């Protein structure tokens, strides 16, 4: 088997290309980042010691962010604990909560879900985060796989609609994560570094099955607002995401951690943003452990993608996802402003203080 090459070689080649890349890109409108992580999902139980809330907020403000949503699988006392950690931000970081899906097969699960949702609402929570663990880790919870569109899960989506809590859901992962780790896999380098990210094994639903389950729950719950993370789970297939957005007015998407995919299909992506300006929310997958320099560069690259025609530059996930460079799509102001903050304000009631 070939040894995966690192990205370093490709970077050296790009330095020979003469062009004038901007050094800093200032966002043309206030930015609400709808997809970021400040808690146990990425940092474990001791997340409080991983970062200083005020320092992170200062870094984000310097990068042009006006408000940011924390997407974590927390409820009850754990939600309160995260609120306390984020309290010094004075509303700059907005914590979204979740429900305990590991209890989905308990007879009293429905009662538990309503209680957890109402408790979150009483604490000011504006949306519910649900994660890929519902299908990809369900064996861990129940000793068997449970489908996303199974009745025990479906009642969560129904309850969120009844409680007027939008659902931000991460379903599956890139389709390449469901294919063998082999040189033919275009995320071979990424998967070789992180074989634990692979879902190519017996007993796990395929990527196609995940997409069918995702469509089923969105279609079955027209009164629930869905924000499907990572470009509707399928940035590699924008024609398919278009079909879903056309069919399901309750579906929205965020663009978190898929700039690599969007930026290598700039003509198709630009038309997609122009055709669905009210359905796409800005999000990044920012991690609170980023240092000041990483934070600035991370957001600059996003702004460069959305606001310029710059060509063939590194994307923010260069060492994690696609090993290619991207092209800017220079969105017009009216589309950019909806993407950066107006859609988040309308759908989630989040304001962007100036
Ligand atoms: Zn995320």
> How far, in Å, is the centroid of ligand 1 from the Cα of 131?
9
> How far, in Å, is the centroid of ligand 1 from the Cα of 13?
31
Closest to 228 (Cα-Cα) out of 127, 93, 319: 127
> How far, in Å, is the centroid of ligand 1 from the Cα of 51?
17
Closest to 82 (Cα-Cα) out of 134, 43, 137, 31: 43
State the CB neighbour count (10 A cutoff) for residue 51: 18
Closest to 331 (Cα-Cα) out of 300, 301, 299, 308: 308
DSSP summary character for residue 91: T
Q: How far apart are CA 332 and CA 281, in angstroms?
A: 15
> How far, in Å, is the centroid of ligand 1 from the Cα of 286?
8
Query: Could you tell me the mean pLDDT of each successive run of 10 residues in the chain, 354 residues long?
Result: 44 59 85 98 97 98 97 98 98 97 97 98 97 93 93 97 98 96 94 94 94 98 98 98 98 97 98 98 98 95 96 88 93 98 94 69
> How far, in Å, is the centroid of ligand 1 from the Cα of 71?
7
Q: Which residues pair with 280 in a beta bridge?
A: 253
> How far, in Å, is the centroid of ligand 1 from the Cα of 212?
21
> How far, in Å, is the centroid of ligand 1 from the Cα of 284?
8
> How far, in Å, is the centroid of ligand 1 from the Cα of 96?
12
> How far, in Å, is the centroid of ligand 1 from the Cα of 205?
21
Contacts of 165 (CB under 8 A, 6+ apart): 117, 120, 121, 125, 126, 127, 128
**HSE of 217, CA atoms in CB hemisphere, 13 A:** 32
Q: What's the CA angle centered on 153, arms 257 and 125, to 5 degrees?
A: 60
């Amino acid at each position: 088997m070939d040894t995966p090459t690192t990205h370093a070689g490709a970077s050296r080649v790009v330095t020979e290309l003469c062009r004038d890349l901007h050094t800093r890109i200032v966002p043309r409108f206030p930015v609400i980042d709808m997809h970021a992580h400040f808690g146990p999902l990425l940092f474990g139980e001791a997340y409080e010691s991983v970062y200083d809330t005020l320092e992170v907020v200062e870094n984000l403000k310097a990068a042009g962010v006006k408000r940011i949503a924390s997407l974590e699988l927390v409820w009850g006392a754990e939600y309160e604990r995260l609120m306390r950690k984020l309290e010094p931000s004075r509303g700059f970081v907005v914590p979204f909560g979740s429900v305990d899906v590991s209890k989905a097969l308990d007879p009293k699960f429905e009662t538990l879900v309503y209680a957890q949702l109402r408790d979150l609402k009483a604490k000011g929570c504006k949306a519910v985060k649900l994660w890929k663990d519902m299908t990809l880790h369900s064996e861990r919870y129940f000793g068997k796989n449970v489908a996303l569109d199974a009745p025990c899960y479906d009642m969560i989506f129904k309850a969120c609609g009844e409680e007027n809590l939008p659902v931000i859901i991460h379903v599956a992962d890139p389709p390449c994560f469901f294919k063998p780790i082999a040189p033919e896999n275009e995320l071979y380098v990424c998967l070789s570094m992180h074989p634990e990210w692979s879902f190519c094994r017996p007993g796990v639903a395929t990527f196609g099955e995940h997409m069918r389950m995702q469509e089923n729950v969105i279609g079955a719950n027209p009164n629930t607002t869905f924000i499907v993370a990572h470009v509707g789970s399928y940035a590699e297939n924008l024609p398919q995401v278009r079909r879903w957005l056309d069919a399901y007015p309750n579906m929205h998407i965020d663009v978190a951690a898929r700039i690599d995919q969007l930026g290598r299909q700039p003509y198709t992506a630009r038309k997609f943003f122009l055709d669905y300006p009210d359905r796409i929310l800005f999000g990044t997958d920012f991690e609170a452990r980023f240092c000041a320099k990483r934070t600035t560069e991370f957001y600059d690259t996003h702004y460069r993608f959305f606001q310029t025609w710059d060509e063939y530059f590194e994307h923010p996930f260069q060492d994690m996802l696609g090993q290619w460079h991207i092209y800017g799509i220079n969105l017009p102001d009216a589309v950019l402003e909806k993407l950066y903050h107006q859609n988040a304000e309308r759908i989630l009631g989040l304001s962007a203080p100036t």
